[in-house]
Structure 1
């Protein structure tokens, strides 16, 4: 397995064994965005007992105010570790300034557009180079929104995304106060006076978030807001996407309610679209919540197997499609 790249500078920060898992951490320097100081940490999880045998690549994107530890703990507990033990080749990037990714020069002004247009394509190309397979993507909360932005903007194509899973992600929930322009303007003014949003102070998580991402949310939910940046309309762009998509929501999620998550899913033009709503109405013992859908004993028992099943079905469908193409070519 390569520890470097022909695409751009890559440093192998560490290669360690964590119990039954191997953990390799890379630092990518894509130099593909206006801010050349951007560096992205990407952790790769695999089975320690099979170092030379890697499965289908899956890229996991964390949400706001968190980092790679959302997906796996230092003790090897979490959905990312579960996927690795199930035989998948797991890659976990950390957004600019999160976790092991250093803060770039223009950190305060980082926007979703920067993640979608520059960072995700660089990560995709690196994983493609290392594995020679189109990765499956899973994003929680803001991670799912970034995936939708990259897909709607045309930055993630079929060759670099075998499937998308959006977990607790939406962009259309209505915040009535923000429909009143003076309040939206006041929000922008308040944010302009802050260096960043503190996850610890807001009791939202261990990481900070750049002001640029927060201002994106204000624009999208304002009176004339739309999911996009500048002249780019990501919402309309989603209608042209053909990548298989799974949206996961939870009845107990007050931040990103099921109806809004399903609305985002329906905007995709993909022939394969599925919505999994977690809660008693669909036979689950728990209503779950925004975080509990992935981090809880109930999720480990009831949700993780369903997500693995989705991935396995997408892998099987891709293999079947490849066989058909090869058969037609031979004929």
Structure 2
């Protein structure tokens, strides 16, 4: 594997021009986890002819059943290209076995714990090496949960994370049947019969998810479950995190409701925390859904500029006003 890093083997597997954008795809082989076959694809987007003047790095993490195309369509559209055209140094990560990242030998057993403990620190180290700056992170759904796990588990800290933005990410929604041990046990026995969860069959997206991820989620939501792993309580660890955090929920998102997204944000000990709910009652043009909050025509005009503003100023633009519940219509700043 051709190396372009002093950290671990890295291959530049493609370098292309996509209209006004430059696209470099790297494949990292960090060798820092028990499964040494793990390789991670990392796409770097910038403006053609401006490689020597790269801006602040931003790392984008996709959600479950997804890949880099959530952020960056073949036509050069998406939040990734938008931020690159705004002058940011954009890096789009793909989790093990997703998109251009090949399936590792133990793919079936992959968990959030593996992504948080091994993969995100390797990605952070490489981006810092290449850019010379501490990156900002943006995660959608499971991507945001993985980022929260890495922060709460203290696998990432202020030297690797300039700020964290979590879109549609939560772990507090209660599934009452799973609180009954026989139901949870039965679910585990059923899931263990399958190597993967098929995104196509479940109509959830273009990618599969390893069964280890589903089993891990069952444990979190079980009777005595917690967000963490043995010997490391990620939920408790979030109270010690100090990096700026933005949490964004969508009023039309029934999968990850706003109250649960806000609860995750409130667990962070960060002095600088902001919460934003996207919906008509909050002054937006649409009651956004789980995907539409970042991938839709309205999001292009309303949400993407807010992300850019957050990354530049670590604050959302102030828009005063209250809704019927007394919450701020546009967003709320939360102080520990």
TM range (shorter): over 0.9
Q: 2-side partners of 1:253 and 1:231: how far apart?
A: 33
Map 1:157-236 to 2 at 5 A. 157-236=157-236
TM-score, normalised on structure 1?
0.93
Q: As a proportion of its length, which structure holds more helix?
A: 1
- The structural deviation recorded for 1:27 is 0.4
Q: Helix, strand or coil: the match of 1:14?
A: strand
2:124 aligns with: 124
1:318 aligns with: none
2:109 aligns with: 109
1:251 aligns with: 251
Q: 2-side partners of 1:216 and 1:82: how far apart?
A: 34
RMSD: 1.2
- The structural deviation recorded for 1:177 is 1.2
* Runs of 4+ in structure 1 over 3 Å off: none
Show CA shifts across 1:240-268 (max 9, x none): 00000000000000000000000000000
- Count of aligned pairs: 314
- The structural deviation recorded for 1:49 is 3.5
- The structural deviation recorded for 1:51 is 2.5
Map 1:1-331 to 2 at 5 A. 4-314=4-314
Q: Helix, strand or coil: the match of 1:310?
A: helix
1:323 aligns with: none
Task: List gaps (5 residues or longer) in structure 1.
Answer: 316-331
Q: 2-side partners of 1:139 and 1:98: how far apart?
A: 15
Q: Helix, strand or coil: the match of 1:76?
A: coil
Task: List gaps (5 residues or longer) in structure 2.
Answer: 316-336
Q: Helix, strand or coil: the match of 2:289?
A: coil
Q: Helix, strand or coil: the match of 1:58?
A: strand
TM-score, normalised on structure 2?
0.92
Q: Helix, strand or coil: the match of 1:45?
A: strand
2:324 aligns with: none
